[in-house]
Amino acid sequence: MYSRIGLTGDVMLGRLVDQYHQQRPVVAVWGDLLDQLRALDGLFINLECCLSNRGEPWQRTQRAFHFRADPDWAVPALERAGVDCCALANNHILDFEEEALRDTLDHLDARNIAYAGAGRTRAEAFEPALVTVNELDVAFVSFTDNTPEYAATETSPGTAYVEIDIGDEETRAAVQETLNRAREHDPDLVIASLHWGPNMVEEPPDTFQKFGRWLIDEGVDIIHGHSAHIFQGIEVYRGRPILYDTGDFVDDYAVDERLRNDRSFLFEVVVSPTGDLSELRLQPTEIHDRSVHEADDEAAKWSRGRMRDLSTPFGTSFERDGEQLVVDFNS
């Protein structure tokens, strides 16, 4: 049986999204994509907020934005969409201090939603998550180079912070240790989720390209990038996809009319029963009404064209299947 694994960019359920959806059915935030999300065999997201009603906004260093969602609706919303695992290594998981981070971990644990990239200690933050998708064992690891002050320590909660530089010995040691722990479970598939780089950057720098390829050389099967708020191009390296940035999936952000941070894709990797990657499918999406939706014809056409242009330098070509773009790993 082939497995369909979905990956999304930033899922930010706080601020205006939180205010709006507290008065609506918990599934409304997924718009008309709910059935597609639930039909996936596995769903992995970057959760760009904490899940808590407690904590005070981080004031130890300058922070322009603080994202927190009411767990009474947000946690059931994740569950109803079929979210299996959350990347938590990002620059918002500690926005309401350690109390809210601990609440987030507790809420996810209570709903059996796996997570990686943040924890109560540094060891926990760097621990891989293990998820079973159909009969596939998936190891999921999560790192970030954003907000070093959010980094977990041996005794305090925080994120799995690393420098995105394969020449950095500390980074190599931390990442390799995490991957070694993942391999101890003999997974069929390894996904590395990276919240890397600044906002609104259209192309990955050379350092990110080298880092993504190095991770695949180290045994990672899928690179799940995010942080720029806009999608970037896709590279296929040694038959494995590097999604340099998956953009934004749902949020309340102001829209840049040129870069269109309200447009992205639901990224779906089709995997064989033996763990071999078969194809990558991209379903165009757009954000409006503080929810995610299938993109309309104009938005879908723009996103497909933009993705083709951004991926051409990597030699990546796409087939068209209805509204979707498809990369065939066997061609």
Give residue-wise pLDDT tens across range 250-284: 999 999 999 999 999 999 999 999 899 999 999 99
What is the number of structural domains in the chain?
Answer: 1
Give residue-wise pLDDT tens across range 289-311.
999 999 999 999 999 999 999 99
Residue 67, pLDDT above cutoff 90: yes
Give residue-wise pLDDT tens across range 164-212.
999 999 999 999 999 999 999 999 999 999 999 999 999 999 999 999 9
> 1 pLDDT band (50/70/90 cuts)?
confident
Tell me the one-letter amino acid at 13.
L
Average pLDDT over residues 152-156: 96
Place of tokens 């899940």: 51
Task: Give SS3 for 103.
Answer: helix
Burial (CB count within 10 angstroms: exposed 0-12, middle 13-18, buried 19+), residue 263: buried
Which pair of tokens denotes residue 7?
Answer: 């990956």
Task: Give SS3 for 329.
Answer: coil
In contact, 252 and 268? CB cutoff 8 Å: no
pLDDT score of 330: 85
> 101 pLDDT band (50/70/90 cuts)?
very high
- Cα angle, residue 193 at apex, residues 189 and 199 outer, rounded to 5°: 155
pLDDT score of 4: 98
For residue 193, give the CATH number of its domain.
3.60.21
- Cα angle, residue 9 at apex, residues 106 and 112 outer, rounded to 5°: 25
CB-hemisphere CA count at 13 Å for 250? Answer: 32
Average pLDDT over residues 32-51: 98
Residue 40 is given by DSSP the state S
Residue 90, pLDDT above cutoff 90: yes
pLDDT score of 72: 97
Average pLDDT over residues 158-169: 97
| Domain around 84 | 3-328
Tell me the one-letter amino acid at 267.
F
Rounded CA Rg of the chain:
18
Q: How far apart are CA 70 and CA 19, in angstroms?
A: 9
pLDDT above 70 as % of the chain: 100
pLDDT score of 194: 99
pLDDT score of 331: 74
pTM value?
Answer: 0.98
Give residue 256's region: left, alpha or beta (phi > 0; psi -120 to 50). Answer: beta
Closest to 203 (Cα-Cα) out of 242, 238, 146, 252: 242
